[in-house]
């Protein structure tokens, strides 16, 4: 298996940790974009997770001259007609100070979501995490996969693991929130874990074809 470095197009340490854990067995070196260069983030103009993932992957592949892996993921809440969707990371931008750190933003996003669902009964609080992963080299998308993770939005946050909306994302099959799951369990069933494992299978085939 040839050794290759893949740049992960994110500054989110949680995403880097989760993806690196799945891809490490392939013998591929995974590094965050911040370790390569100080590159301005691209504007995300896509209307779907797939469009945004492709945009980011191509942008950073061109900027770095390396294979770049990007994901776009977020939360779709049925009672909110699929919101926050592609705006998940910046859902609370209207009430969060500019330049706020990730923890502050996460807390604000969760608070806004709870407010939006304040009068919604349990049976209508169904939701899912969606992740689309794309790998770009040069001006081409080389591989892409998707994954989904079904759950229910809890009334109060619980758990210290994970990030983003994980403390509010209750997983009925496990009787806890995503933030209460051990990392290995979350990676096994999560939207990102599913997408990255599928990606790993395709990447293995691609690397073998280059050998």
Kind and range of the H or E element at 106?
helix 102-116
Whether the CB-CB separation of 133 and 199 falls below 8 Å is answered with yes
- Nearest residue to 76 via CA among 176, 194, 169: 169
Q: Could you tell me if 144 and 54 are in contact, meaning their C-beta atoms sit under 8 angstroms apart? A: yes
The answer to whether the beta carbons of residues 146 and 50 sit under 8 Å apart is yes
Report the candidate in 134, 127, 44 with the shortest Cα–Cα distance to residue 86: 44
Distances (CA, A) of 170 to 12, 53, 185, 202: 22, 26, 14, 31
User: Is residue 101 among the annotated active site residues?
Assistant: no
Out of 72, 81, 140, 185, the active site residue is 72
Residues carrying an active site annotation:
72
């Amino acid at each position: 298996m040839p050794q290759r470095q893949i740049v992960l197009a994110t500054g989110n340490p949680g995403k880097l940790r989760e993806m690196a854990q799945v891809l490490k067995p392939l013998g591929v070196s995974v590094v965050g974009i911040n370790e390569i260069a100080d590159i301005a983030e691209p504007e995300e103009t896509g209307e779907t997770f797939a469009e945004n993932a492709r945009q980011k992957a191509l942008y950073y592949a061109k900027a770095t001259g390396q294979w770049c892996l990007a994901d776009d993921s977020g939360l779709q809440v049925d009672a909110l007609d699929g919101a926050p969707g592609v705006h998940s990371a910046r859902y609370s931008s209207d009430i969060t100070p500019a330049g706020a750190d990730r923890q502050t933003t996460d807390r604000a996003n969760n608070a806004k979501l709870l407010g939006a669902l304040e009068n919604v009964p349990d049976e209508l609080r169904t939701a899912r995490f969606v992740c689309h992963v794309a790998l770009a080299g040069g001006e081409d998308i080389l591989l892409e996969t998707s994954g989904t993770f079904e759950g229910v939005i809890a009334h109060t946050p619980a758990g210290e693991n994970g990030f983003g909306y994980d403390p509010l994302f209750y997983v009925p099959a496990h009787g806890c929130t995503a933030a209460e799951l051990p990392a290995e369990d979350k990676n096994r069933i999560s939207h990102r874990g599913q997408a990255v494992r599928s990606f790993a299978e395709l990447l293995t085939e691609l690397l073998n074809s280059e050998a």
